[in-house]
Amino acid sequence: MSRPVNYGELYRAGKKILEQADIGEAALDARLLLESVCRTNRNDLLVHGDREVEPEKEKTYLTFIEKRASHMPLQYITGVQEFMGLEFTVNEKVLIPRQDTEILVEEVLRDLHDGSRILDMCTGSGCILISLLHYSNDCQGTGADISGDALCVARENAARILAGKKDDTVARFVESDLFERVEGRFDILVSNPPYIRSAVIPELAEEVRGNEPILALDGAEDGLLFYRRIIKQGKEHLCGGGRLFFEIGYDQGVAVKGMMEEAGYADVRIVKDFSGLDRVVYGRYEVRE
């Protein structure tokens, strides 16, 4: 395009490229990417569609559109995802925080007291731990993950999101294969572990399968590997009366509940999400004499 391009033209060009690439939400994504590049809002596009776009921004927008056309998730292109009303930085080293996971955070929040010690196992972007710390006071949080690259993202999110807190909140992160380098006991152990059966991974959407870290998705043959390990080893890291909370796949509720009961956890419950599907399992660790 040799003549100056305006918002409207650029948006329509982007939308067309995404439609041709079979991107489901072509119009929405073309608009959100324009907003991300030009720092505009929906209103600017509607009311000021004839405003000229600087050549640099046009170039960046078309690069973003190309990435989206190749099925890179929008959030990896814009670098952000909103979760629990907070803005998290994301990149390809972390799973994109899902809205479903807010159910897990809300369940934990019901149980959280000021000053609690929280361990978030497989913290990824840190979205669970940081949200819990943001919406409480004086809690001490530890986020563990096997990926050092993920922890860089989590640390950055914690520093920015928790910066304004005036209480004694503590967030620390540890690179650890599950509990290997985790010390001490906690009141709350929360985890959204990788839980997809290995055989199902090739069937996932290209956005997920080709872009998100497999390490954060693959729960081995039956999808339950990490639940098994965390349920067992978690007992060495929970205080008596402490609680274990998991996010689960819609068809894993009964299995995970059974595993927790067998391991001696009490009052094990399954919580459904807003679609009526099993989404969270939690229970209490009781120290037996």
- Applying CB under 6 A, the residues found at the interface with ligand GLN are 95, 97, 101, 122-125, 127-128, 192-194, 216
In the bound complex, what is the minimum distance in angstroms from residue 150's beta carbon to ligand GLN?
7
In the bound complex, what is the minimum distance in angstroms from residue 179's beta carbon to ligand GLN?
16
Give the C-alpha separation, 6 to 201, whole Å. Answer: 41
In the bound complex, what is the minimum distance in angstroms from residue 289's beta carbon to ligand GLN?
35
Give the C-alpha separation, 98 to 16, whole Å. Answer: 28
In the bound complex, what is the minimum distance in angstroms from residue 225's beta carbon to ligand GLN?
12
Measured from the CB atom, the residue of 73 and 97 that comes closer to ligand GLN is 97
Residue, CB closest to ligand GLN: 124
Query: Burial, 159: exposed, middle or buried (Cβ in 10 Å; 0-12, 13-18, 19+)?
Result: exposed
In the bound complex, what is the minimum distance in angstroms from residue 122's beta carbon to ligand GLN?
5
Measured from the CB atom, the residue of 14 and 143 that comes closer to ligand GLN is 143
Measured from the CB atom, the residue of 114 and 149 that comes closer to ligand GLN is 149
Measured from the CB atom, the residue of 14 and 194 that comes closer to ligand GLN is 194
- Residue 57 structure tokens: 């921004």
3-state secondary structure 138-191: CCEEEEEECCHHHHHHHHHHHHHHCCCCCCCCEEEEEECCCCCCCCCCEEEEEE
- Residue 283 pairs with which residues in a beta bridge? 244
In the bound complex, what is the minimum distance in angstroms from residue 102's beta carbon to ligand GLN?
10
**3-state class of 86 per DSSP?**
strand
CA 256 from centre of chain = 21
Measured from the CB atom, the residue of 58 and 212 that comes closer to ligand GLN is 212
Measured from the CB atom, the residue of 45 and 122 that comes closer to ligand GLN is 122
Strands (E), the chain: 5-6, 52-53, 80-83, 86-89, 117-121, 140-145, 170-175, 186-191, 238-247, 265-272, 278-285
